[in-house]
Structure 1
Amino acid sequence: MNTNTVNVIDAPCGYGKTSWAIQYMNSMSEGSHQFVYVTPFLDEVQRVKESVTTRKFYEPETKKGETKLEDLHKLLGEGRDICTTHALFQMATSETIELLKANRYTLIMDEVLNVIEQIPLKKSDLALLLDANAVDIVTRENGLQYIQWNEQKIDYDTRYNSIKEVALTNNLMYCDNSALIWNFPCEVFSSFQDVFILTYLFKGQIQKSYYDLHGIKYRYLSVVKEEEHGYELIPYSLRKKHNKQDLIGKIEIYEGQLNDIGESISALSKSWFINPKKKDLIVKLKNNARNYLMNICKATGEDVIWTTIKGDKEKIKKQVAPRGYSKPFLAMTARATNDFRDRYILAYLVNRYLNPIQKKFFEQYDVKIDEKTWALSELIQWVWRSRIRDDKSIKIYIPSRRMRELFKSYLENDHFEEAPDNAIVDEPPSDWNL
């Protein structure tokens, strides 16, 4: 697949990624640039709309008789500058692609997107669809396998309508005889004039593996603040190294007997939590967390954030919730929110592993995922919701030995921040105006 090279601005929180993006959008003329800015949360949409003063950003809305996606397409057709959420951007269709190409937009994406999702499917469902000649498994020129719906059976109204709808978008992929995977249409990225992704530890992200899968190249950049010119993008090879010694002095990681529960490599993983034999250990984890928060840290609810796996109908979350501290829960997948930036007592009660189906999906095409960097990046994204993002001290309880050692290794050296071997690290950004 021929595509532009994506610009990945990979830098820690506080380096000025969002500030650069706002400066960039403010400084470019409306005649040369139209922007689509995509962010995880609605409150960030408002912040960008208020911060960019040289042009007007439009937010797609649900109107009478019109969906948000239809409004997005209307705004794209008019060449408007658009600020929207990941959730809406994920709905992109072939019509979205054509409208983007017609207006030569620049994409700025705050944090990575959920670019693949498993489609619910029982073990025999796919075999049933194949036997009924409703679908075919098609191998494309790039060697990737897709599920194609039989055009002669488009009008069939069955329990598999949801699968049919995804298959008809040509974005339903096949995973090793065990699952169907919705794949974000990669043509979206090549429909933009330039693409900038603002993130950290990109080499551990699913989106990086997705780019590898589809042959999309990526250029690594960093950001610096200059007195005269404000924020500037620089090749990653010239980046300013993160001051880990300063961080080490501000992060107090608990070391003590309360960590004994997380010694095994799988302790506090999803499989550990759902194992009926671990019921007593879950009670112990709950008590350990309360002991840490109440007795060791003397914390109030306003000081704390904690997380764990939610489970079906939040069953696991309720089982683990430390008594007296159930309210300051922050989902382990939280990103790009500033709502907890005053919190400084943290409890990370989970051991992150990739979804095995997602891992298998990439591995069947010999695309490797750096699972340790992925787990670490998930932890760091969560920790940096706290006041450490403002360079203030925090205390944290990480009972999983695996997660704790990953975090300590990150603080002690820079190897997690080394760019992937196939990344371009010595070039300026693709927009010549920069």
Structure 2
Amino acid sequence: MEKVKVIDAICGAGKTSYAIQMMNENTFGKKFIFVTPFLSEIKRVISATNLNMTTPIAARGKGKKLDHLKKLLADGRSIAITHQLFKMMDHEAHELIQQNDYTLIMDEVAEVIEVFPIASQDIDVLINGGHIRIEDDSSVTWLSDYNAEEKYALFANVKNAANLGILMAFGEDKLQMVSLLPVSAFNSFQEVYILTYLFDGQLQKYYYDFFNLQYNKYSVIKSEEKYMIVNYNNRYDQREKLKELITIYEDYSTKGRPSTLNTNYYSRITKAHKYLLSHSWYENAHSEKHKQLQKNLISFFRTQAKTTNNKLFWTTYKSKAKRLSNAKCKFNKYDDREKDNFVPCTIRATNDYAHCTAMAYMVNRFLNPVEKQFFLSHDIHVDEDLLALSELIQFMFRGSIRNGEKMACYIPSERQRDLLKKYLDYLL
């Protein structure tokens, strides 16, 4: 039986609706775990299903949410949880899932890899001291019998991660470490459905390749008021409709002078512009560049899109948002969404901004270099352009195009604009 199905369909195609329909048509008594990024979506899914589905709670004085999850698993209940709780599940939870033949439905991809915070010199200390061994598959084995928490508190997290089987080390001249989500998080399920878009550009795809976890891709369509999955075909995206709904700001000339909103950061005779607005660019750019970018944001929303503050949304790297925030583009460091219109650049699966008719995407996304090198070290191809495009599309679909309404788009990175244009013409 095919274990993993990736339903790869454009935002709004009906992926979640198909999943709810599948659960409601459950004639074989299957048990489901539905995983979503947001608590609000948990409530919606529970209310839309007829499975007597529930969600774990952390009762005061009665244990953690993970403990309640395990009890629900032992009882064979269908459950809806967040990505965060899915990530926290341990070996005991995975065993309960396997024993009870659960089916996983994951709305959007999981956070499957993280850079492990340790210096290469400290890795050398652990190896040379006989405390760890790096296996042929890159996994790290903890060898010492001393109590790391007491004698070497600095390395306690290394011991814990290694003993959990999630720590990987790689590199020739300079060793680095990453932690991976245990593959049992997926292998313990009888069936797995991943609801996402542009899966081939996402880290979970490379993670599956690393563990040789086989999957097939499908599109979702609606026929006679019923959703169904069919063999994947990107033409089901109907990108032509999206192309009609968006207006991408381009450079224009006024009295022979080009607009500076997209072009004031680089000389076109160099290759450096490919990386403009990347995270490293923000780290190294002079403060005057940030100030100019801030002015550009104001100018776009006042002269190009002419949008009220409650009808726009914008993003940059969260650590840099304060530098660009202004009278139009609000940023609240406490994540109070009632006081700002900033949206994280990795946002997914929310309809909270569907009323917004203008957006600004002030980033140029590349894969974290450590994560990239980990996969490349295992001969796994990484498509950074598809990753960048995937996140841009996800961000755009938070806005009014979700409702089939027009939206103005400010994307000052030439690379990101070019990727979007190729995508709209089915060239990516």
Q: TM-score, normalised by structure 2?
A: 0.90
Task: Give 2:229's aligned residue.
Answer: 233
CA distance in 1, matches of 2:192, 2:138: 26
Q: 2:295 aligns to what SS in structure 1?
A: helix
2:104 aligned to which of 91, 102, 107: 107
Task: Give 1:7's aligned residue.
Answer: 5
1:209 aligned to which of 206, 209, 216: 206
CA distance in 1, matches of 2:53, 2:176: 40
Aligned residue pairs total: 400
One-letter amino acid of the structure 2 residue matched with residue 71 of structure 1: H
1:310-325 to 2 correspondence within 5 Å?
Answer: 310-311=318-319, 316-325=320-329
Q: 2:263 aligns to what SS in structure 1?
A: helix
Question: Given that residues 225 and 231 in structure 1 are in contact (C-alpha distance below 8 angstroms), is that contact kept between their aligned partners in structure 2?
Answer: yes
CA distance in 2, matches of 1:23, 1:108: 12
Task: Give 1:165's aligned residue.
Answer: 160
Point out 4+ residue stretches in structure 1 off by more than 6 angstroms. Answer: none
User: How far 1:131 sits from its partner (Å)?
Assistant: 2.7
User: How far 1:357 sits from its partner (Å)?
Assistant: 0.4
Task: Give 2:51's aligned residue.
Answer: 55
One-letter amino acid of the structure 2 residue matched with residue 105 of structure 1: Y
1:116-127 to 2 correspondence within 5 Å?
Answer: 116-127=113-124
Unaligned runs of 5+ in 2: 252-258, 267-272, 331-339
2:21 aligned to which of 20, 23, 37: 23
One-letter amino acid of the structure 2 residue matched with residue 339 of structure 1: D
User: How far 1:262 sits from its partner (Å)?
Assistant: 5.3
Provide, for residues 309-349 of structure 1, a one-character-per-residue CA deviation record: whole Å limited to 9, x for no partner. Answer: 122xxxx2111113332121111011101111100111111
Question: Given that residues 224 and 234 in structure 1 are in contact (C-alpha distance below 8 angstroms), is that contact kept between their aligned partners in structure 2?
Answer: yes
CA distance in 1, matches of 2:344, 2:368: 17
User: How far 1:154 sits from its partner (Å)?
Assistant: 4.8
1:398 aligned to which of 387, 408, 411: 411
Task: Give 1:95's aligned residue.
Answer: 92
User: How far 1:107 sits from its partner (Å)?
Assistant: 0.3
Q: TM-score, normalised by structure 1?
A: 0.89
The answer to whether residue 377 in structure 2 is matched with residue 369 in structure 1 is no
Q: Which moved more, 1:195-204 or 1:4-13?
A: 4-13
1:261 aligned to which of 259, 264, 274: 264
Question: Given that residues 278 and 364 in structure 2 are in contact (C-alpha distance below 8 angstroms), is that contact kept between their aligned partners in structure 1?
Answer: yes
CA distance in 1, matches of 2:347, 2:146: 41
CA distance in 2, matches of 1:154, 1:348: 48
Task: Give 1:427's aligned residue.
Answer: none
1:22-421 to 2 correspondence within 5 Å?
Answer: 22-29=20-27, 32-52=29-49, 54-63=50-59, 64-139=61-136, 144-150=137-143, 152-154=145-147, 156-157=149-150, 158-176=153-171, 177-227=174-224, 230-237=226-233, 241-256=236-251, 257=259, 258-261=261-264, 264-275=273-284, 277-311=285-319, 316-326=320-330, 327-413=340-426, 415-416=427-428
User: How far 1:378 sits from its partner (Å)?
Assistant: 0.5
CA distance in 1, matches of 2:297, 2:175: 38
Residue 151 and residue 24 in structure 1: after superposition, are their counterparts in 2 closer, same or farther (change >3 A)? farther
Q: 2:135 aligns to what SS in structure 1?
A: strand
Question: Given that residues 262 and 399 in structure 1 are in contact (C-alpha distance below 8 angstroms), is that contact kept between their aligned partners in structure 2?
Answer: no
User: How far 1:115 sits from its partner (Å)?
Assistant: 0.4
CA distance in 2, matches of 1:305, 1:333: 13
Residue 303 and residue 93 in structure 1: after superposition, are their counterparts in 2 closer, same or farther (change >3 A)? same
Q: Which moved more, 1:129-138 or 1:117-126?
A: 129-138
One-letter amino acid of the structure 2 residue matched with residue 324 of structure 1: K
User: How far 1:282 sits from its partner (Å)?
Assistant: 1.1
Question: Given that residues 69 and 91 in structure 1 are in contact (C-alpha distance below 8 angstroms), is that contact kept between their aligned partners in structure 2?
Answer: yes
Q: Which moved more, 1:400-409 or 1:295-304?
A: 295-304
Question: Given that residues 110 and 198 in structure 1 are in contact (C-alpha distance below 8 angstroms), is that contact kept between their aligned partners in structure 2?
Answer: yes
The share of aligned pairs that are identical, in percent, is 38
One-letter amino acid of the structure 2 residue matched with residue 213 of structure 1: F
Unaligned runs of 5+ in 1: 417-434
